[in-house]
Amino acid sequence: MKMLARTTAAAMIGLCTLAGAAHAATLNVLVMQEDWDTESLARNNRIQNAVLSTINQTLNSPAYQSQLQKYGIQGLDVYDETALTLNFYQQDRQRRTDEELISVVRSVDNPQMDYVVPYTIYARAVTDPYSGIVKLQMSLNYRAIDVRSGRFAGGDNLDLDTQGTAFAGCAAGLNGTPADPHCIKEFVSLNGEKLARNAGNKLAIQLAALLGRSSGGGGYSSDGGHDAGTNDAIDGDVAALPRRGVGGSGCDNPPTVFAVTFRGFEQRQMNAVEEYMSYWKCALDLDVSKSDFSEITFSYKTRSDQQRVLRNVRLMLELMGVVADPQTQGSNEIVVEALGVREN
């Protein structure tokens, strides 16, 4: 009788384990190059392929593992379009429309895809009218669509510095030497990969959230905090920086005014942000220069340098439990855009 009871208990534990593992299954994703707009980069060129590989790699193994562990996964199952469609679809087609991409992904049945991610790249070289410096302007537009229902699950339009990124080295024509075509393509590819990594990490969190927190443990509590204690990254006085650093004290820089924009935050979060920034070390003055329902821009005067301001922003976001993307624009502008995450 005891042996029967033990066998039954073991079987129940095995079933529960299998059920938990099945519930924590990840999502099948197919990333596709969308190039119907003639102003965008055409499919299957060197730059496009570099961006595609980076998005695939980032979705497969995102940097934000602490966020994905809340949903019981470490990455998404990303598939290659050529490998899935080789037997029924012409592989060299370009300037494909939305209708064509959705038709193709819905024709894949082994395995079936959960989400398709079409993306478009725009890139051009512009010349500064005053200095003659040639700069790259580049953007990446992407979105995730539920293959079965057509439901939108996430997306964004990401840009490099809106003022442009100057071509450098052999990618720039200097002293009568023309720019090397190979260097130009490598330069554009590297900047495209930066956008692709940002897009992949953002989208991985948004798609993982659709699995729901109950799908996995990962050591996280229901309120989003870690049950192992305080994160080492925010241990100690997070509103201030070490008194001594590589450059001496933290407040020995000339006063600088930064324009710090927070986008996509709730009003209560904006109030918290203002409180945090007022008490940061080296702060001299804090004013609101622009504000609306979902965006606020602070004029922040401080003796800290840009690196220290960015560090304070990241630590503040960690404390608030907000996933956001701090980016620098120019020499004194910082834009922090919150990532919208939905769990149902």
Any bridge partners for residue 260, and if so which?
298, 334
Q: What is the pTM of this model?
A: 0.76
Q: Which fold has domain 232-338?
A: Gyrase A; domain 2 (3.30.1360)
Residue ranges per structural domain of the chain: 25-215, 232-338
What pLDDT score was predicted for residue 142? Answer: 97
Residue 200: per-residue pLDDT: 95
Q: What would the CATH number be for the domain defined by 25-215?
A: 3.40.50
Q: How far apart are CA 112 and CA 109, in angstroms?
A: 4
- The sheet with strand 283-291 has its strands ordered as 283-291, 295-302, 256-263, 333-338, 324-329
Judged by DSSP in three states, 243 sits in coil
For residue 231, how far is the Cα from the chain centroid? 21
Q: Report the alpha-carbon angle 86-199-269, nearest 5.
A: 150
| Residue 38 · residue 44 · CB < 8 Å | no
- In 3D, which of 140, 114, 122, 43 has the Cα closest to residue 82? 43
Q: Are 158 and 138 in contact (CB under 8 A)?
A: no
The per-residue pLDDT for 217 is 44
Closest C-alpha to 262, from 209, 195, 327: 327
**What is the C-alpha to C-alpha distance for residues 197 and 5, in angstroms, rounded to an integer?**
52
Residue of 207, 180, 252 whose CA lies nearest to 77: 207
CA angle 269, 273, 275 (to 5 degrees): 115
Write out the chain's pLDDT in tens, 344 residues. Answer: 555 555 555 555 454 444 443 445 889 999 999 999 999 999 999 999 999 999 999 999 999 888 898 898 999 999 999 999 999 999 999 999 999 999 999 999 999 999 999 999 999 999 999 999 999 999 999 999 999 999 999 999 999 887 889 999 999 988 888 999 999 999 999 999 999 999 999 999 999 999 887 544 444 333 444 443 444 433 444 444 444 444 445 688 899 999 999 999 988 999 999 999 999 989 999 999 999 888 999 999 999 999 999 999 999 999 999 999 899 988 899 999 999 888 88
Q: Cis before residue 178, ω within 30 degrees of 0?
A: no
Question: How remote is the C-alpha of 318 from its chain's centroid?
Answer: 16
Evaluate the CA torsion angle 203, 208, 209, 211 in order and state its sign: positive
